[in-house]
Amino acid sequence: AAFLIAGLIQSLVTQEVVTHWLGAESGWRGIALACLGGALMPGGPYVYYPIAAALLMAGASLGVLVAFVTAKNLWTVSRLPMELALLGPHLTVTRFLATLILPPLLGV
């Protein structure tokens, strides 16, 4: 499914659109979108690395992709229920707040 989505990105989304929203000139907007996309994307590395590669080939900047991959690993929303059950709310919130600044900071 990830390779299908990566192929669709390459064929359906123009390079101008990717460059505008996720390119080097997108600034904080591109980093914020990448962080949000990474946090909300389900699946493991077999899902997000092909999508990141397709975005890179379509014109996304390297900083935006670093923010995307970092947010995917640190902010994954689908992991929160498991963390809440196993670690409790205090440690889950502490972990999330401790990593809150990293994806945008690494994207710069």
pLDDT tens per residue across span 41-80: 988 899 899 999 989 999 999 999 999 999 999 999 999 9
Helix %, strand %, coil % of the chain (to 5):
85, 0, 15
pTM, two decimals, is 0.87
Q: What is the CA radius of gyration of the chain?
A: 15
In this predicted model, which residue has the larger pLDDT, 18 or 12?
18
Q: Which domain holds residue 47?
A: 2-107
Total tally of structural domains belonging to the chain: 1
- What are the structure tokens assigned to 1, written together? 């499914």
